Amino acid sequence: MTESDLAQTDLVAEIEALGAKLAEAKSSITRRFIGQDTVVDLVLSSMLCGGHALLLGLPGLGKTRLVDTLSTVMGLKGARVQFTPDLMPADILGSEVLETAPDGSRAFRFIEGPVFCQLLLADEINRASPRTQSALLQAMQEKSVTIAGQAHDLEAPFHVLATQNPLEQEGTYPLPEAQLDRFLVQVDVDYPDRATERDILIATTGAEEGEAHQVFTAAELIAAQKLLRRMPVGEQVVDMILDLVRACRPHEAEATETVNASVAWGPGPRAAQALMLTTRARALLDGRLAPSPEDVLAMARPVLIHRMALTFAARARGDDLAAIIASVAETTSENRTAA
């Protein structure tokens, strides 16, 4: 057996072992967060890719409970910030205070804010002012913050799971495009079906509730993120990612008439990078060794929908961005099959 064959065998064994560990993590999560398998998979995918997730859903659907459960299962130090209009950047990042020593000398000491954690729940992020929202930009992208000209590194791994109410817009500040693009995926948290809601009622209103247990450590999650980037991706999947992303940009050669007529701006190269990573994560969560074109189609909506915008005329017509992405994905798949 050659050295290349041995390396390939080791990679397969590592991927299979990680897949089994992820299955155990999902089982632990569902003890406290019942149902909503798609939501769990998307959030886990974002963490496996080393990214951040934006959770959209009405109050009371379990978003905060999910993040709290993930903190336990993934072995991460968690923190929560409730975003309000009067929240200041220093309330998130931390600040320097002037202290007087017993000998009378004075010196500044930096007091860390809640962002110095490994899993940050940014609850109702769109209720904070743009100034405060932008305080997270450097943390999300660079994994560090700068206070008084001094850079402070955040502890690895670092993930932001932000929640947002998609309907209540009174007293809110829509996230700017630059910050939306920092979120790897947008996760829509919908109402549970009847059977799931029945299970939730029974499980959460009794004398005892199910408890999640730790499956990963921070070091193991970092190792999983590195392993994911070693997963092989076929040329067919790479070409489909490129076709799909470019077809969602108005006035590109691959764009459809619907995109040209309805989309103001489309996804950039960061979206293609996100698709490349999340398709691997989806395959990993499904127990497969490499992603397929079906993974690209499944991840198109959560990866692209917050990286695109409709024109004013399209919004006036009542066009739906999710429907446009689904149509482009279907057309892209048909074209790749025909080719």
User: Span 36-62, mean pLDDT?
Assistant: 88
Residue span(s) of the chain under CATH 3.40.50.300 come to: 1-230
Q: Which tens digit of pLDDT belongs to each residue from 123-172?
A: 888 888 888 888 888 888 888 888 877 888 888 899 999 988 777 666 67
Residue 325 has pLDDT above 90, yes or no: yes
* Alpha-carbon dihedral 4, 6, 11, 17, rounded to 10 degrees: 170
What is residue 146's predicted lDDT score, i.e. its pLDDT? 82
Which residues, other chains included, contact 93 with Cβ-Cβ below 8 Å and sequence gap of 6+? 113, 115, 135, 139, 145, 147
Residue 6 has pLDDT above 60, yes or no: no
Of all residues in the chain, what percent carry a pLDDT higher than 70? 95
What is residue 61's predicted lDDT score, i.e. its pLDDT? 76
Paired strand residues for 123: 82
What is residue 160's predicted lDDT score, i.e. its pLDDT? 92
- Could you tell me where the beta strands, DSSP code E, fall in 15-165? 53-56, 78-82, 94-100, 106-112, 119-123, 144-147, 150-153, 159-164
Rounded Cα gap, residues 163 and 152, in angstroms: 25
Say how many C-beta atoms besides its own lie within 10 A of residue 179's C-beta: 21
pTM more than 0.85: yes
User: Span 25-30, mean pLDDT?
Assistant: 90
* Alpha-carbon dihedral 12, 18, 20, 22, rounded to 10 degrees: -150
What is residue 168's predicted lDDT score, i.e. its pLDDT? 65
Which tops the pLDDT comparison, 107 or 27?
Answer: 27
CATH architecture of 232-339: Orthogonal Bundle (1.10)
Residue 284 has pLDDT above 60, yes or no: yes
Residue span(s) of the chain under CATH 1.10.8.80 come to: 232-339
User: Span 184-211, mean pLDDT?
Assistant: 83
User: Span 326-336, mean pLDDT?
Assistant: 86
Crossing angle for the helix pair 3-29 and 269-285, to the nearest 10 degrees: 80
Rounded Cα gap, residues 195 and 206, in angstroms: 18
Q: What residue type is 326 in one-letter code?
A: A
Which of 270, 268, 265 lies closest to 310 in space, CA to CA?
A: 265
What is residue 238's predicted lDDT score, i.e. its pLDDT? 94
- 339 pLDDT band, cuts 50/70/90, is low
CA geometry: angle 279, 283, 284, nearest 5 deg: 115
Q: Residue 115, SS3?
A: coil
User: For residues 45 and 228, is the Cβ–Cβ distance under 8 A?
Assistant: no
User: Span 217-230, mean pLDDT?
Assistant: 93
Q: Is the dihedral of CA 65, 217, 210, 208 positive or negative?
A: negative
Q: 20-32 burial, b if ≥16 CB within 10 A, otherwise e?
A: eebeebbebbbeb
Question: What is the CATH code for 1-230?
Answer: 3.40.50.300
What is residue 285's predicted lDDT score, i.e. its pLDDT? 92
